[in-house]
Every structure is written in structure tokens, then in C-alpha cells.
């Protein structure tokens, strides 16, 4: 089984809808991340969490919110989706060692019409 799973894998929704993307990990890591990737671009950090009680904004948090339900679960919500949030979304996890390797989920392709 995959170390990091994301659901759904694909989602098409309409402008104004609330969307939740879910992430689960079996690595036992405290640190989890949500990234967004637009075509031809690198990863932009949306939110990150270094433990269950820790939530931090990344570079592009506007329009997004997160919930860290447990060590293994970190969900991302788009409160009111807009077309320019159409992108590929990745969840990742890492251990707390400096420079710890990040393990990525397979991604969620979100299209907002």
C-alpha cells in the first residue's frame, strides 16, 4: 500500500462550491504539507503542519484552509472554489530530521469550472 494516499484523485466542480481534499499517511511522520502545482511550474506551498497542534500558512494560503485531524490525516479545503484554483494538488509528509526526505502522495487533479 502507498505510504501517502490522497482522495479524490480527480475532481471537477463548479465555481463557488466547497471542496475538501483528503490526505492520509502511514509513515508515522509528524510533518505534513499541502502543495499546489500549476502546469510548467514548480510546487507552491499552501499550508504545512509540524505536528497535530501546529498549522502554518505557506506561500499561497488565501482561499484555502486545512484541518489536521490526527497525526496521519491532513485535509485541505477550498471554501468557495474559483477557476484559478484549477491545479494539481499534492500532499506530502516528512520526518523532523533536518532535510528529511519528503514523501508525496499521487496528487489530486482539481478542475473548477
Partner 1 sequence: SQQGEEDPQALSIQEGENATMNCSYKTSINNLQWYRQNSGRGLVHLILIRSNEREKHSGRLRVTLDTSKKSSSLLITASRAADTASYFCATDRGSGNTPLVFGKGTRLSVIA
Site for partner 1 in 4-33 (CB under 8 A): 4, 33
For 76, the grid coordinates are 485541505
Closest CA to 81 of 13, 11, 7: 13
> Closest distance between partner 1 and the C-beta of residue 80, in Å?
26
According to DSSP, residue 100 is labeled P
Task: Spell out, one character per residue from 82 to 111, where the chain touches partner 1: x when CB under 8 A holds, - when not.
Answer: ------x-x-x-x-xxxxxxxxxxxx-x--
Q: What is the dihedral of CA 108, 50, 101, 39, to 10 degrees?
A: 30
Residues near partner 1, by CB under 8 A: 4, 33, 35, 40-43, 45, 48, 50, 58, 88, 90, 92, 94, 96-107, 109
Amino acid at each position: 500500500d502507498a505510504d501517502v494516499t490522497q482522495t479524490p484523485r480527480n475532481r471537477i466542480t463548479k465555481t463557488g462550491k466547497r471542496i475538501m481534499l483528503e490526505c492520509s499517511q502511514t509513515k508515522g511522520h509528524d510533518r505534513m504539507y499541502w502543495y499546489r502545482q500549476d502546469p510548467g511550474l514548480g510546487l507552491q506551498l499552501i499550508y504545512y503542519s509540524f505536528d497535530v497542534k501546529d498549522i502554518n500558512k505557506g506561500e499561497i494560503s488565501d482561499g484555502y484552509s486545512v484541518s489536521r485531524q490526527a497525526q496521519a490525516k491532513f485535509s485541505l479545503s477550498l471554501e468557495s472554489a474559483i477557476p484559478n484554483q484549477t491545479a494539481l494538488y499534492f500532499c506530502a509528509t516528512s520526518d523532523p530530521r533536518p532535510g528529511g526526505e519528503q514523501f508525496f502522495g499521487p496528487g489530486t487533479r482539481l478542475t473548477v469550472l
